[in-house]
Chains A and B, each alone.
Chain A
Amino acid sequence: MRTLDELLHEHEFFKGFKPEHLELMAGCATNVIFEAGEYIFREGENADVFYVIRHGHVALEIHDPRRGPIAIDTLQENDVLGWSWLFAPYHWHFDAKAIKLTRAVAMDGKCLRTKCENDHTLGYLMMQRFATVLADRLQQTRLQVLKLYD
């Protein structure tokens, strides 16, 4: 069985992290598994965690009373799920549903925030990684709203 810091080390998001940082991270990590169809989190719930997806497929959904759930993004292996843990008031904005059996490492947000406050080098690294993820998602979303294929 691999240790948590080994699992993190293999993940795209943590590529280039120093061993001491990975070790710190692992201190906030838990191995999790979601069955197909299981909701990982729901809109409005407290966001005190984020997930690094190891295997599987997760849909981000918005529920519309007329149309039901609308999937607006899907995430897979090597993606990270959730950034609401970074920003007050730490609430989820969407529903996240496993559409296949999904294995992930859950990272405790509170724990991470404390570690980032104590070690700004680590904090900067995390912010940098999340900023990249956010920028990519924002760019993709911008293209998505263009309704290019109409």
Chain B
Amino acid sequence: MINLTPQLTTQQLTDPMQPEPFRVKRVMKESYDTFTLEMEPVNSERLFTFAPGQFNMLYIFGVGEIPISISGDPNQPAMLVHTTRIVGAVTKAMSKLKTGDVLGVRGPFGTGWPVSAAKGCDVVLVAGGIGLAPLRPVLYQMLAHRDRYGKVVLLYGCRSPEDILFRKELEKWRARFDLEIFVTVDYGDSDWHGNVGVVTKLIPKAPFDALNTVAMVCGPEVMMRFTAIELQKRGVQGEAIALSMERNMKCAIGLCGHCQFGPTFICKDGPVFTYPQLQSWLAQWEI
């Protein structure tokens, strides 16, 4: 079983329910409904160390707080980076933030992707939609220590060509010889010359050695279920597949009860789990 405990010791939080103010340094529009915020602490020189896969609770003053995974580079802890899609009141308010505005941050919380367990293995990242955001730190980490891993493959599916996140970065990475990137969209227009179809379709042909692969999967739950099945068909061991789960969260420290999924608390036992930890529960409705 791969170990999902973050390799980095997270900062001891004085009161884990108190947000710390962070100032927005840059806002980047990723697509019509998705944006990235880069931010720095207002009152301290705190370096925001985190493990790829961990998340923060982001607070908009007087509006509310939601869990969002960290999408930045773990080797650049001076800048905290989050990528979010507008889905509700808080993310809507967040989308209106400008450079210089302040928001609250609690974290980092939760387990991380099995980045160190993947040493010496091929790595396949399967992302669906906004699920690419929590996997981006893994790519940064692997590119910073490229010699530690075998093949590194990203399979990324999204709605349409307009929804592709981090497009420039993906293009830059695609040009590298040591990174394989395959993108597919559900529906393509006449300008789209790439793949069309669901992301699981990319798995049978992707270049990795299934018996020596660690897979990290993030996207809608249905997509993750089918991805895990397809990866196993290819020969990847269930134990070598990690998934990142999402549920309602209020506290992020295992006390509010909202994020329970079977016996687990997604916030502290996850969000990253191995497939066998979740398998029996994923098949059930309304867990």
Contact = CB atoms under 8 A, between A and B. Distances in A.
Interface in B115-172: 128-130, 157-159, 163
A38 to B, nearest CB: 14
Contacts of A76: 195, 205
B71 interface: no
Residue of B187, B198, B219, B220 with highest tally of chain A CB at under 10 A: B198
A149 B131 CA distance: 9
B222 interface: yes
B198 A144 contact: yes
B189 interface: yes
B43 interface: no
The size class of the interface chain A forms with chain B is 20 to 34
Interface stretch (A42-50, A62-70, A83-91, A107-115): A62-70
B61 interface: no
A78 B187 contact: no
Contacts of B219: 148-149
Residue of A57, A100, A139 with highest tally of chain B CB at under 10 A: A139
Residue of A57, A143, A147 with highest tally of chain B CB at under 10 A: A143
B78 interface: no
Given A149-B163, A149-B220, A68 B198 contact: no
Contacts of A150: 159
A148 B226 CA distance: 12
A78 B147 CA distance: 31
A77 to B, nearest CB: 8
Interface in B163-218: 163, 184, 186-190, 192-198, 200-201, 205
B159 A147 contact: yes
Contact of A148 (B188, B189, B196, B220): B220
A70 B157 CA distance: 17
Contacts of A99: 193
Nearest to A36: B193
A71 B192 contact: yes
Interface in A104-127: none
Contact of A74 (B158, B195, B200): B195
Given A76-B205, A78-B205, A140-B201, A147 B196 contact: no
B223 interface: yes
A139 B219 CA distance: 18
A6 interface: no
Nearest to B129: A149
A1 interface: no
Given A148-B220, A149-B129, A70 B200 contact: no
A135 interface: no
B284 to A, nearest CB: 18
A144 to B, nearest CB: 5
A93 B192 CA distance: 21
Interface in B218-234: 219-220, 222-223, 226
B186 A68 contact: no
Contact of A73 (B130, B157, B196): B196
Contacts of A148: 128-129, 219-220, 222-223
Interface of B: 128-130, 157-159, 163, 184, 186-190, 192-198, 200-201, 205, 219-220, 222-223, 226
17 contacts: A59-B188, A69-B189, A70-B188, A71-B187, A76-B195, A76-B205, A78-B205, A100-B193, A144-B197, A146-B222, A147-B159, A147-B186, A148-B219, A149-B157, A149-B163, A149-B219, A150-B159
Given A71-B188, A143-B222, 9 more contacts: A68-B190, A74-B197, A76-B205, A140-B200, A143-B198, A143-B226, A148-B129, A149-B129, A150-B159
